[in-house]
Amino acid sequence: MAVTIRDVAEASGVHVSTVSRAFSAPHLVNPETRTRVLAIAEDLGYRPNRAARALTTGRTHNIGLIVADIANPFFPPLIKAAQAQARLRDYHVFVADTDEDPQVEEDLIQTLTKQVDGVLLCSPRLTNRTIERLREEVPFVVVNRRAKGMPTVLMDVGRGARQAVEHLTALGHRRIALVTGPSGSWTSKEMQEAAAAMNDVDVVFLGPNPPTELGGLAAATDVIASGATGVLAYNDLVAIGLIEGLAERGKNVPGDVSVIGVDDIVPGRLSRPKLTTIAMPTAAAGRIAVDLLLQSVDSAATAAATMLETALIVRESTGKAHR
């Protein structure tokens, strides 16, 4: 049915090995032969069978990309960038969604293992122990989690949080609430530590909260009770929910309270007021993670952590403190 290397070989009167080398080791074959073979291959519409190639070389030229929830607006830009970068390197990407379930995550890794050269683990829900065990079977790159023994891509939310707090203090806010995320979150911990170390400002911590709009909505009363006029939320979804919750209680953003989110997701750019936020370099993270992964596929893994810069983007949800 499909055209194989054998068909090309017969059509061009050479041995299959010559055809193979025409593609993968050009310097070993006569330039004339090569062009002829390539032309005939093109003609016949030959496409190498990657499964067969994988069998001999041990390289599938596939990678797995595992995220907790594709529908979470934080991930698509990362997936998109990772996929594009992989394509550039002639790799294909399996995308899998664990639905936030660690067991599913582990199963997925297990079945994917034989089919990929490496796995990109984004915001894993697995314990570090489990990750280290699975590490034996397939190379990993972990995004958004510190995991020793393997390459890691992190985003500098600590710096982002400092910038955010500075932005708020510059606007005259003296009492700031940090609406934290889930208790296990590395990101949340980083933000807390950074904020706690700031001078000239009162920081109160409100949380933990689910990392969703509902989480933000529910946090509104606590924020009002805290007396804070500036808020840094765990992420944009929480920030949007919070703004809604504040509005329900008669508080206007940014008139009464200033709110800053994290992630710079699309909904934040489109909400009203447009969200001031800490932009996460998700696309860069995707690209870099892919490169690190492919690197660690054919050489020893550099178990280094890569820290990416974040950036404060000021829009409409922050304003001067009136007091």
Binding mask 223-242 for a copy of itself (x = CB under 8 A): --------------x--x--
Rule CB under 8 A: is residue 94 a binding residue for a copy of itself? Answer: yes
Q: Binder to a copy of itself among 33, 38, 48, 305 (CB under 8 A)?
A: 48
Rule CB under 8 A: is residue 97 a binding residue for a copy of itself? Answer: yes
**List of residues 6+ apart from 143 with CB closer than 8 A:** 78, 120, 121, 122, 123, 152, 153, 154, 285, 286, 289
Rule CB under 8 A: is residue 264 a binding residue for a copy of itself? Answer: no
Rule CB under 7 A: is residue 15 a binding residue for DNA? Answer: yes
User: Using CB distances below 5 to 8 A depending on partner kind, what does residue 91 bind out of a copy of itself, DNA, none?
Assistant: none
CB of 44 vs DNA, minimal distance in Å: 11
Task: Considering only residues 285 through 304, tell me which ones interact with a copy of itself, judged by CB under 8 A.
Answer: none
CB of 237 vs a copy of itself, minimal distance in Å: 8
CB of 93 vs a copy of itself, minimal distance in Å: 6
Q: Please provide the distance, in angstroms rounded to a whole number, between the alpha carbons at the two ends of the chain.
A: 78
- Enter the tokens of residue 202: 């009162």
| SS3 of the chain: helix, strand, coil, percent, to 5 | 45, 15, 35
Rule CB under 8 A: is residue 267 a binding residue for a copy of itself? Answer: yes
Binding mask 49-78 for DNA (x = CB under 7 A): x--xx-xxx---------------------
User: Using CB distances below 5 to 8 A depending on partner kind, what does residue 15 bind out of a copy of itself, DNA, none?
Assistant: DNA
Which of 203, 257 has the CB closer to a copy of itself? Answer: 257
Please name which of 260, 286, 288, 285 lies closest in space to residue 273, comparing C-alpha atoms.
260
- Enter the tokens of residue 276: 């001031």
- The gap from C-alpha 294 to its chain's centroid, in whole angstroms, comes to 16
Q: Binder to DNA among 11, 38, 44, 48 (CB under 7 A)?
A: 48
Determine the interface stretch with a copy of itself among 14-22, 86-94, 225-233, 256-264 (rule: CB under 8 A).
86-94
Three-state secondary structure readout of 46-74: CCCCHHHHHHHHCCCCEEEEEECCCCCCC
Rule CB under 7 A: is residue 26 a binding residue for DNA? Answer: no
CB 244 within 8 A of CB 214: no
The Cα–Cα gap between 187 and 179 comes to 12
- Enter the tokens of residue 54: 């994988």
User: Using CB distances below 5 to 8 A depending on partner kind, what does residue 88 bind out of DNA, a copy of itself, none?
Assistant: none
Which of 35, 49 has the CB closer to a copy of itself? Answer: 49
- The CA-based dihedral angle spanning residues 158, 317, 210, 140, taken in that order and rounded to the nearest 10 degrees: -40
